[in-house]
Amino acid sequence: MVRTSPESEKFEWLSLPVVAAVVLLLALVKLYVSAHTGLVFDEGYYTFWSERLQVGYLDHPPAVAWMIAAGRTLLGNNELGVRLLAVGCGVGVSAAIWRTGTLLLDRKIAALAVLLYNLTPSAGLGFITTPDPPSVLCWAAAIWAIAEFIASRRAFWWLVAGLFAGLGLWSKYTDAFLAPGVLLFILVDRERRGWLKLWQVWVAVVLALVVFSPVIWWNAQYGWASFLFQGQRTVVPGQGTNFLENFGDLLGGQAAYMAPILFLFAVAGVVVFFVRWRDAGWQRLALPVWTSVPALAYFVYHTLHARVEANWLIPLWPSLTLVGAAAATALWQRRPRLTAWLIGAQFAIGLALTLAIYVQALWQPFNIGDLDRTNETRGWPKLVGDLDKLATANGAHWIATSANFGTTGELASYSLFAGSTLPVRQVDEAMRWLFLPPPMPDALGWPALFVRVEPNPGAVQPPSDLFGSAKLVGTVTRDGGRWPLESYSVFLVDQPTAKFADGLKP
């Protein structure tokens, strides 16, 4: 049975003031790292979105762009402005975990869950502004609202849940799995099936759809582009079609993101929940478990034809951390020394992995080559300055890129940060850039600088397929600080070809 043992009451480290202090201290550390490390490719891309707010984009729903725009409004055009609200989302998730755990279980389990969640690489990387932070927050907040209903039986909490479910769909389409999870949670229990008589339950569904409707409208205007772009992953084979390898990657990715001991606690808690489904104590975990089942089932299915990226399951982890904390508490009652060692090891592993990432991002002490994702964050301000000088020297009106949305986003974002007046436009993959006016000659003028990553600088080929005139005017390097990272050929281009015009067509 899930309960807190009497002797655990003396553990002051599970008191709310201590837990809140840890959460806020970690948030301050994330803000420091946010301000002192450059943007990763995806962040640069989403920051470009935030310059022209829409209710839809190709890759994801629009919440991340609006969140970045709000942060930039508050703190300016810099990395901290881009990441401010992502850090805030992490604090909000912690509050939702604590309150949900308190309502469904007890304060000690809730406090343990908050600490377990925050001391993981996943939470440590939560300052990186992608669709994940608002997606996780909205899922956790919807679960919290339903827990409030369970505790109070005040039906208006369903409306709050519906609001957050709709906002979750503004954040990431993965949050669509929450609705069948809630339905499953209701249907598997006779008493809960009676909740379907409440009008608030049905209005919550309508409210979620109303909140989501602008994104639906945008997709309807553009041939359901975003839905199809993401939906193709459900049926199109990706890299690696071996089920056992993909399933192993799924488990390994979750164990790495959450640190392995919490992962094992969560798995154990889910297993025991289904084995002891008649036990009233374990049934207090019904909400976090059942609402996670549809997404878990789908991602296991996904491994039949493609890999599952580790971050795809992030919205489930606030709920699964509560399950893991409950399992740890149950083990504590039987094996207190073993459990204390396991929890301490989880904290140490999670914190060590997180700090290692921070140290590498801030000071780059290790050269680990292509495995180092922090390389994405380095060298952009100087690169933008070098391109500005080349543009001025050659009379270029804008910067053109091709086939690399990460580079495009970084150049556009750091041009914004530097106050550069040179527009940055990618001249292909037009569906990604529906939020921008197309780079037509009458809009931006000629000549332009065409910038291209050169994997082999010794064999530079001019972009003659796109431009009738293309003259190499320089080679610039993105410097990582201690070693060079990428070389870029820069051409002065004019006389766009038919292929250039075709690349602008969605």
CA of 455: how far to CAs of 378, 393, 414, 461, in Å? 18, 26, 22, 12
Round to whole Å and give the CA distance between 297 and 495: 53
Residue 165 has pLDDT above 70, yes or no: yes
User: What pLDDT was estimated at residue 97?
Assistant: 98
The predicted pLDDT at position 6 comes to 39
On the question of pLDDT at 73 being above 70, the answer is: yes
For the chain, give the percent of residues with pLDDT over 90. Answer: 82
Q: Kindly state the tokens that stand for 119.
A: 């001391």
pLDDT tens digit sequence for 176-235: 999 999 999 999 999 999 999 999 999 999 999 999 999 999 999 999 999 999 988 776
State the Cα–Cα distance between residues 409 and 170, nearest whole angstrom.
21
294 near 181, Cβ under 8 Å?
A: yes
Question: How far apart (Å, rounded) are the C-alpha atoms in residues 113 and 57?
Answer: 35
Residue 389 scores a pLDDT above 70: yes
The yes-or-no verdict on residue 397 having pLDDT over 60 is yes
Per the CB < 8 A criterion, the answer to whether 178 and 287 are in contact is no
Per-residue model confidence (pLDDT) at position 235: 66
- Of 313, 173, 317, residue with least CA distance to 249: 313
Indicate if the pLDDT at residue 472 is higher than 70: yes
125 confidence band (pLDDT: 50, 70, 90): very high
Pair 464, 414: CB distance under 8 Å: no
Three-state SS at 487: strand
Confidence grade of residue 442 (pLDDT, cut at 50, 70, 90): low
Report the alpha-carbon distance of residue 317 to residue 105 in Å, rounded: 17
Mean residue pLDDT of the chain comes to 93
Q: In 3-state terms, what secondary structure has residue 268?
A: helix
Cα distance between residue 76 and residue 374, in whole Å: 23
Task: Output Rg (C-alpha) for the chain, integer angstroms.
Answer: 25
Contacts of 348 (CB under 8 A, 6+ apart): none
Is residue 13 pLDDT above 80, yes or no?
yes
**pLDDT above 90 for 459:** no
- 8 A C-beta contact, residue 201 and residue 142: no
CA distance 1 to 6: 14
pLDDT class of 439 with cuts at 50, 70, 90: low
Q: What is the pLDDT of residue 65?
A: 98
**What is the DSSP secondary-structure string of 214-256?**
HHHHHHHHTTTHHHHHHHGGGTS--S---HHHHHHHHHHHHHH
Q: For the beta carbon of residue 248, count every other beta carbon within 10 angstroms.
A: 12
Nearest to 381 by CA among 67, 36, 64: 36
At residue 8 the predicted structure's pLDDT band, cuts being 50, 70 and 90, is very low
**Position with higher pLDDT, 26 vs 244:** 26
Banded pLDDT at 369 (limits 50, 70, 90):
confident
> Is the pLDDT score of 139 beyond 90?
yes
CA dist 488 and 476 (Å) reads 5
Phi first, then psi: give them for residue 198, nearest 5 degrees. -80, 125
Does residue 406 surpass a pLDDT of 50?
yes
Note the pLDDT tens digit of each residue in 250-300.
999 999 999 999 999 999 999 999 999 788 889 999 999 999 999 999 999
Share of the chain above pLDDT 70, in %: 95
Query: 261, exposed or middle or buried, with CB in 10 Å at 0-12, 13-18, 19+?
Result: buried
| In contact, 478 and 488? CB cutoff 8 Å | yes
| Tally: H helices and E strands in the chain | 22, 5
For residue 7, what pLDDT band results from cuts at 50, 70 and 90? Answer: very low
pLDDT score at 20:
96
Looking at residue 62, what is its pLDDT? 97
pLDDT at 9 over 60: no
Q: Contact 106/14 with Cβ under 8 angstroms?
A: no
- pLDDT tens, position by position, 31-48: 999 999 999 999 999 999
Q: What are the tens digits of pLDDT across the range 305-331?
A: 889 999 999 999 999 999 999 999 999
Report pLDDT digits (tens) over 107-118.
999 999 999 999
Task: Of 266, 314, 300, give the one whose Cα is nearest residue 134.
Answer: 314
Tell how strand 484-496 and strand 399-401 pair up: unpaired
pLDDT on residue 441: 60
- Contact in structure between 465 and 390 (CB atoms under 8 Å): no
CA angle, 261 as apex, 257 and 266 as ends, to 5°? 85
403 CB-side CA count, 13 A: 6
The reported pTM is: 0.95
